[in-house]
Amino acid sequence: MRDVVIIGSGPAGYTAAVYAARANLNPLVVASSVEFGGDLMNTTDVDNFPGFPEGIMGPELMTQMQKQAERFGAEILYDDVTSVELAGSIKKISLGNGDTVEAKAVIVATGSAYRKLGIPDEDRLSGYGVSWCATCDGAFYRQKVVAVVGGGDSAMEEATFLTRFADKVYIIHRSESLRASAVMQQRAQDDEKIEFIFNATVARVYGDELVSGIGLVDTVTGEERTLDVSGMFIAIGSDPRTHVVHGQLDLTENGTIAVAGRTSKTNLEGVFAAGDVIDPTYRQAVTAAGSGCVAALDAQHYLESLPHDLTAAHHSA
């Protein structure tokens, strides 16, 4: 039996692992088989994580966090959680390899998943010109014209990154004001290859085998038009990834896992949640990391509060 199992290996999961490991809780991190390290694995320069004045590459940052957790005894498992039983004093976590792990406390740090536009042919053309990851797919758009959909930091970052390869990058945003931070907006606006199209939504994506264009609707006039592009990168935010805890943990109206006040405590004793999966607002690497710390400390206090015999059980186990 484990003291604590952490589900997820982004900044929240690994920070929780660092704190739990330093508290001698010997945490097991179920890191996922192909998405370990979380969203930052698909980014390039991270310039807003404190402590790195020259910036750091996202995958490098996550590798460092992992090493830091392992240094204090955290165990990392590259597998996926297929189901959980979170009620009761002993939690059960089932894994892709068929094993079931038991734990006294669980920290859910499953992050979020990219949001889709929800338009016809989006799925069919996914991987054939429709993408959610400029750093993964940008290099295939050398000297092409592409569109980025969205108005937040990630849209600005994707667009700026894509100018390394593409001849022209449209940023399509549904309103007139961007949500992106001032520095990211400025960088995009100063870029000669980037052109903004405001007050427009994407209603269609066209293409037989590969994307050839997108259909835009002006949100003010209702006017429709087609834009010839070879690629469409979607950066319209993400949704909390809660499917594995559905029906067991209470969710908020935003779809995030509900926690009590400033804590990480869910509706179930011994189950804590951290990072983007509880955060409808900020969703930054550093806020996720802070949230992971909170969850580890809450889990530690919970374990200390358990009746002594249950605590003793793990020392002999």
Partner 1 sequence: MSSARDVTDQNFATEVLGSDKPIMVDFWAEWCGPCRAVSPILDQIASEHSEKIDVVKLNVDDNPETAMKYQITSIPTMKVFRGGEVVKTVMGAKPKPALEADLAEFLA
Q: Where in the sequence numbering do the catalytic residues fall?
A: 133, 136-137
Residue 81 Cβ vs partner 1, minimum distance, rounded to whole Å = 11
Residue 11 Cβ vs partner 1, minimum distance, rounded to whole Å = 15
- Which of residues 3 and 137 has its CB atom nearest to partner 1 in the complex? 137
Binding positions for partner 1, 8-47, rule CB under 8 A: 32-37, 41-42
- Which of residues 203 and 210 has its CB atom nearest to partner 1 in the complex? 210
Q: How many CB atoms lie within 10 A of CB 250?
A: 11
Report the distance separating Cα 110 and Cα 81, nearest Å.
10
Q: Does 282 bind partner 1 (CB under 8 A)?
A: no
Residues in the chain: 317
- Which of residues 40 and 105 has its CB atom nearest to partner 1 in the complex? 40
Count the site residues for partner 1 by CB under 8 A. 25
Q: Does 210 bind partner 1 (CB under 8 A)?
A: yes
Question: Which pair of structure tokens corresponds to residue 295?
Answer: 């969850």
- Which of residues 135 and 264 has its CB atom nearest to partner 1 in the complex? 135
Q: Which of 40, 112, 110, 114 is nearest to 82 (CA)?
A: 110
Q: Does 128 bind partner 1 (CB under 8 A)?
A: yes
Residue 258 Cβ vs partner 1, minimum distance, rounded to whole Å = 28
Q: Does 276 bind partner 1 (CB under 8 A)?
A: no
Q: Does 123 bind partner 1 (CB under 8 A)?
A: no
Which residue reads 């001032």 in tokens? Answer: 182
Residues that bind partner 1 (CB under 8 A): 32-37, 41-42, 59, 80, 96, 126-129, 131, 135-137, 139-141, 209-210, 231
